């Protein structure tokens, strides 16, 4: 009966996909108009492509957006060193730009196919991956079933699952068991992540820690020097990975603190840079002097806010900021990862809604390496305290750095679990290289 329920639910999921298929072009066009899709690459969402599959073994890695993509960068580099082809799919325009800047032609990028049967079928027919590695929490039933039917191993890496998602799957236990048992392994960020994947049906689980703790934060040294020269000794704080409503809060906080700290500079780094025009309109209403980073103008003594409307340059601004507020934690729920500001020497503030990174933040809070603010008023108070009391700020920065570095090692632990899946591909790559370059 349980198996029947699962197959019925999956069938209905497929039927729903078939019903919405005629509306997909309109949906993609609407997203493209909002800057959330590349209008020239919409067909990739239906599994179509003009690119050829390279010869030799190929690993398909999938990351939802920028944060997940960054987490995979060290793993991708290690795979490329093994002379194995990498196909990387993502779901956002910003992540596509990041991949182009970071890897160029060394990695094949495609926008992820929608989880409808024709798109998944076309995608797998064309690319024929030898292994699929999916980052964090991207659970798409038809992709998982499609890979399983073709006997293509699939592993969740840096696997994470929020409590809300876990409980939602538990309510659909028959469907969850049917789907999750087709996943060959899940390598969790934490013990609780691994336990949740196991409880839902994944037989092989392991714990790696968070891959983001192994990322060496990058920063353009020349750009960093230019900013430091233009800012002199100004007090700088940053609101990073902000979502709608949080840019307005950052602006209000800046205005509230400016009377006490006249040399204050606020840096705003929205999670989605395509919202920059909308954010500029909001900031203009407050009569603030704003510089857009994309226009390559350095802030002057009169600048109130630097709006960072580019991607891949967070490292520069985190090194400028004495304190960083992490977004998606006040006006939205979920939060973002504190590891990057911790590794770059910025004291950390966050709103209360950090459900997506609860395990990581629990460690930070226990070590006094981050503080919670409930609203704009508390954010202003905490900023004033940390910006004007150096010993307290340095104590938090040191605690955050120690906490983040103690979480490192996830890459090596991940590779250890992946060895049974990757070793056969290494042999294939060597044989292909020998056949291509030297003959038999």
Q: Using an 8 Å Cβ cutoff, are 343 and 405 in contact?
A: yes
In degrees rounded to 5, what are phi and psi of residue 376? -65, -40
DSSP E strands, 12-142: 58-62, 85-90, 108-111, 131-135
d(CA 312, CA 91): 17
Nearest CA-CA partner of 83 in 439, 434, 438: 434
CA dist 131 and 148 (Å) reads 11
Give the integer Cα–Cα distance in Å for 251 and 220: 27
CA 259 to chain centre: 36
Is 229 among the catalytic positions? Answer: no
Give 258's strand partners: none
Distances, alpha carbon 299 to alpha carbons 35, 265, 305, in Å: 27, 9, 8
Query: In the structure encoding, which two tokens stand for residue 282, read together?
Result: 């909001």
Other CB atoms within 10 Å distance of the CB of residue 327: 28
**Helix 173-180 × helix 141-149 angle, to 10°:** 40
Residue 375: Cβ-neighbour burial (10 angstroms; 0-12, 13-18, 19+): exposed
Q: Are 308 and 317 in contact (CB under 8 A)?
A: yes
CA angle 149, 86, 111 (to 5 degrees): 75
Rounded to whole angstroms, the Cα distance separating 186 from 81 reads 23
Tell me the HSE value of 406 on the side-chain side, using a 13 A CA sphere.
11
Output the CA–CA distances (angstroms, integers) from residue 298 to 86, 288, 294, 306, 324, in the order listed.
38, 16, 10, 9, 20
Note whether 191 and 244 are within 8 A (CB).
no
Bridge partners (DSSP) of residue 326 are: 240, 350
CA atoms within a 13 Å half-sphere pointing along the CA-CB vector of 125: 10
Tokens (6 digits) for 334? 């979920």
Can you tell me the distance from the alpha carbon of 249 to that of 376, in angstroms, rounded to the nearest whole number? 6
Catalytic residue among 44, 68, 136, 138: 68
The catalytic site residues sit at 68
């Amino acid at each position: 009966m349980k198996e029947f329920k699962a197959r019925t639910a999956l069938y209905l999921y497929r039927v729903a996909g078939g019903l919405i298929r005629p509306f997909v072009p309109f949906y993609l066009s609407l997203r493209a108009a909002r800057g959330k899709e590349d209008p020239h690459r919409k067909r990739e969402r239906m599994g179509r492509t003009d690119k050829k599959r390279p010869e030799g073994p190929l690993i398909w890695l999938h990351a939802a957006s920028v944060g997940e993509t960054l987490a995979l960068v060290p793993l991708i580099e290690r795979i490329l060193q093994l002379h194995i082809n990498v196909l990387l799919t993502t779901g956002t325009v910003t992540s596509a730009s990041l991949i182009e800047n970071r890897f160029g032609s060394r990695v094949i990028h495609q926008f992820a196919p929608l989880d409808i049967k024709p798109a998944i079928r076309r995608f797998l027919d064309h690319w024929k991956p030898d292994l699929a590695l999916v980052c964090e929490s991207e659970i798409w039933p038809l992709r998982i079933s499609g890979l399983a039917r073709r006997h293509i191993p699939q592993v969740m890496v840096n696997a994470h699952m929020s409590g809300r998602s876990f409980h939602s799957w538990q309510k659909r236990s028959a469907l969850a068991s049917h789907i999750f048992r087709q996943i060959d392994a899940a390598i969790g960020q934490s013990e609780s992540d691994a336990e949740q994947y196991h409880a839902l049906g994944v037989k092989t689980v392991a714990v790696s820690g968070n891959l983001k703790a192994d990322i060496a934060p990058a920063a353009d040294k020349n750009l960093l020097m230019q900013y430091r020269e233009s800012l002199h000794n100004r007090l700088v704080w940053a609101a990073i990975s902000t979502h709608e409503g949080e840019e307005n809060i950052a602006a209000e906080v800046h205005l509230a603190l400016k009377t006490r700290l006249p040399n204050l500079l606020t840096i705003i780094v929205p999670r989605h840079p395509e919202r920059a025009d909308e954010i500029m309109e909001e900031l203009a209403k407050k009569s603030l002097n704003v510089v857009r980073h994309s226009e390559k103008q350095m802030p002057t003594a009169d600048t109130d806010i630097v709006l960072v409307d580019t991607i891949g340059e967070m490292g520069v601004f985190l090194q400028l900021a004495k304190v960083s507020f992490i977004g998606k934690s006040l006006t939205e729920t979920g939060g973002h990862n504190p590891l990057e500001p911790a590794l770059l020497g910025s004291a950390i503030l966050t709103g209360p809604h950090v459900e997506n990174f609860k395990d990581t933040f629990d460690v930070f809070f226990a070590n006094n390496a981050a503080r919670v603010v409930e609203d704009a008023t508390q954010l202003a108070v905490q900023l004033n305290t940390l910006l004007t009391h150096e010993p307290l700020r340095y104590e938090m920065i040191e605690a955050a750095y120690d906490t983040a570095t103690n979480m490192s090692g996830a890459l090596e632990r991940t590779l250890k679990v992946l060895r049974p899946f990757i070793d056969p591909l290494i042999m294939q790559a060597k044989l292909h290289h020998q056949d291509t370059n030297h003959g038999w």
